[in-house]
Chain A
């Protein structure tokens, strides 16, 4: 007798097994502090992967060093926790060799704008198809509260006990001033739907999408962004038919809205430089900028054996191997 399961038509086989859910993108339990804003960015990234049904084995999150750079551990995808400041070159290496992978970079304000600043500049210019999330908490979190280049003037920290001396580096304005920009956006961790939509559009952009995210560090700077969270006067939501896709229920909460054409780089720079009222949305987008991998990627095919041999060849150069027993 036939098992009733077997007689059923195979027309809709495996319907749930081929769908990834949010849980599929969860990695190990997070070690971030309670209420840390990084959580919101993590959730948005996981949601994106689930919504876009990105195969975990085809997705890689690359980071440098910092609290924010721990994010790849918390994703159920591949990850590369690289050296301090070196997330971008590692990601570029991955992308050029494996253009089939979805490559994301998560980096901190210290990681990207301090030690990694050189790489940042060139990564923008290379414009490879990578999504970059800059978690800007305006402090070094992992090393316990040192001033970062984005710390506002006067901020008391362990390295600036009398207050930070200089005006901060503005990552948005800096990026908008670089050459070959193709996508620049600004988000805040405390408005999740806007954050999500920006990340989603960044992912769909072909080229380097640079998303700067104001991220709360409740542990070292508990009330630092309170002014922005509480005072609706201090943010302006950028809307445009080609811009953000946010529901009216959320958009309606913003006192200031501006229709901003993401092609208008001059207005984008003005908006980015206004620190009293920070823009929320896509500042600049130009899908026509050349991507480095389009002109430089090799189409040489390597088998797994080739790759292992090449890798071992490289490593052998540096390994001092004791002679094996005779």
Chain B
């Protein structure tokens, strides 16, 4: 039977099947206006995979985030991670037993609740308020006192502080302003040091000249300077003569003095802008506050141009100052050079020292001028950092009568910009900002333009779940995948591009196991793909695209959307895709997804696949080459070459909330080694000499008392452990036995270790 005949038979079968016909009609037709009005049907349903995350309060996830002050290198860290670090330190120093850990996690939860209720606050006050709450729940005075002391000591162990922020509509703004301000301040500080040095050196030249001038060494001047009480005791004429006749003082040339003064003035003006950290009675502490933040690309360009003009002035002065300090300024040579000094003379180093500009734009405000300026920026080498915030993904917005349309080019700006090869690009949703903090900081430090595309989610009324989940699901569903493109990291895609932050990057969709009870009360589980359709199902503007079907109307031709997307177009005939959703009572429903959305899902999968190819996954060129080679081998040898085994998927954490950590008294995992011999440090004998902690700060750390312990045995090799033992000045690091039998040179290492065990 050929394909046409087959299709004919299928068609006939469908025609005879009234129910299937009805289901197909639902699937294939766009929603009618009337249906749209009455589409409340699905608005109380949520995708099945979300049912576990309804009560975010009870879960721990990447928010709230603490926007850390220095000196912690990280610019932002989830509160939950900070608390985990704290717990680890407390456990290590023996003050983190089951109850104490429970107390700390309780406090964390309280801080989280307070963060959601109040406007932004720093960790310090939040910790205090949360402590009060926790104490208020306790009856016994003794226990309360103990808890108060414990939380106080925990707070001093956790030295960090910073603003605590939730995943709200301002998060993009808060996060980037904070990270940028910290990085800009570092840059400012470096410039400040240079300027301070030059100012001191130039002033010294001018002062020395003044101190030795005829005026300063006249007997009158000396008399005034030394004060009345020496009037009788010192012969000032003699002193003046002595000073004037000693040495070979030649006054500065007038032109040089004038030049020094002019340069000093420029340096001092610039220095003033950079603030001062230490205050004194006269001038209070005035930390450097970078100011170049714009809200349109046009303004950003203007700000940067102003910076450039100032830079020409400044670096002219800096270069003259350097020559002057070394006494190498030669007027005949240098005057003409500096007269013609302009932007073109600025070196890369100097450009790197320039303040950068941060600009926030929303994707829906990219009008003509702004758009042009954005493209100018991204194709230039100016250090302008653009944060492009997406409240909606135009690709998937409903067009007209509830159908889904395309044409939003802005959502693809991230991918498009990579084509320019000049700008650094990071794309992520707000939920994933904490995971990409290090990359973002790198991007802000990058010496050139950067584009940060951040999905922050639509207005609250349009979505049924929290903003955090909304954003996390944009990444999870591949509607807004994360990626990093860093043009400074090498010359090829493998070095420049990464799909960091995405769950299961090798797969078209991440899959999750969903457990449920069927109508007969039997436990069942099903693997469900998380697609863009699940993402859109939480958006009330798409309600009309979903039609729930009661169990009496279920048909064998209904197939889960994940599987539906996996089959060829030609094979989909007569099949109806559905997604699983649950209502408030946790009852499971099958919901038909209309064709418009399925097309959107295919399109989204296609875009994701292109990104995968860039990331070296399922790369079509490589696959084709492999096929050709395979063919060639078969022809040459007559045998089939062995098939390479599937690579292990790269484990990427999915940033969906985790359940509260267990706070019971279960034993902590120990740093055990294969032979059962434990690596350890006699912490109480540590002399805090920094040797092991400098060697590998992930493996060795100091406790509250600044004495070393093994923080993470897996964070380094056995070799490092043995070398640390050998170098510890008081021989208190005992390396135990190796845990990785494949480590190189193990025999020798074990022998060396034996002296310290």
Contacts and interface: CB of A to CB of B under 8 A. Distances in A.
Interface of A: 3-5, 8-9, 12-17, 19-23, 30, 34-37, 39-40, 42-43, 46-47, 189-193, 216, 218, 229, 247, 249-250, 316-317, 319-323
Contacts of A21: 156-157, 159, 704
Interface in B194-230: 210-211, 213, 215-216, 220-222, 224-227, 229-230
Nearest to A51: B705
Given A16-B151, A20-B156, A218-B729, 13 more contacts: A5-B125, A8-B133, A15-B148, A16-B152, A17-B128, A19-B155, A34-B694, A37-B689, A39-B688, A43-B688, A189-B687, A229-B731, A317-B229
A35 B684 CA distance: 17
Given A190-B729, A190-B730, A322-B216, A22 B687 contact: no
Leading 8 A-B pairs by shortest Cβ distance: A21-B156, A40-B687, A322-B216, A43-B688, A16-B155, A321-B225, A35-B689, A39-B689
Contacts of A191: 685
B545 interface: no
A35 B729 contact: yes
Contacts of A5: 114, 118, 121, 125, 129
Interface in B99-143: 114, 117-118, 121, 124-125, 127-129, 131-133, 135-136
Contact of A320 (B121, B148, B222, B687): B222
B727 interface: yes
Contacts of B691: 34-35
Interface of B: 114, 117-118, 121, 124-125, 127-129, 131-133, 135-136, 148, 151-152, 155-157, 159, 210-211, 213, 215-216, 220-222, 224-227, 229-230, 684-691, 694, 704-707, 727, 729-731
Contact of B210 (A15, A47, A229, A322): A322
A48 to B, nearest CB: 11
A320 B688 contact: no
B705 A19 contact: no
Contact of A47 (B159, B222, B706, B727): B706
A242 B541 CA distance: 79
Contacts of A34: 689-691, 694
B189 to A, nearest CB: 14
A17 B688 contact: no
Given A34-B691, A36-B689, A23 B213 contact: no
B118 A39 contact: no
21 contacts: A4-B114, A8-B136, A15-B128, A15-B131, A17-B124, A19-B152, A23-B156, A35-B690, A39-B687, A42-B688, A43-B687, A190-B685, A190-B730, A192-B707, A193-B685, A218-B729, A317-B230, A320-B211, A321-B225, A322-B213, A322-B225
A237 to B, nearest CB: 14
Contacts of A35: 689-691, 727, 729
A17 B211 CA distance: 49
A42 B151 CA distance: 27
Contact of B690 (A3, A22, A39): A39
A39 to B, nearest CB: 5
Contacts of B729: 35, 37, 190, 216, 218
A322 B227 contact: no
Contacts of B132: 8-9, 12
Contacts of B216: 320, 322-323
A16 B124 contact: yes
A4 B136 CA distance: 14
Contacts of A218: 729
A43 B706 contact: yes
Nearest to A33: B689
Contacts of B227: 316-317
B688 A40 contact: yes
A197 to B, nearest CB: 12
Contacts of A19: 152, 155-156
Contacts of A321: 224-225
A323 B215 CA distance: 8
A317 B131 CA distance: 57
Nearest to A22: B706
Given A3-B118, A323-B225, A16 B128 contact: yes
Contact of B687 (A4, A8, A190, A249): A190
A213 to B, nearest CB: 11
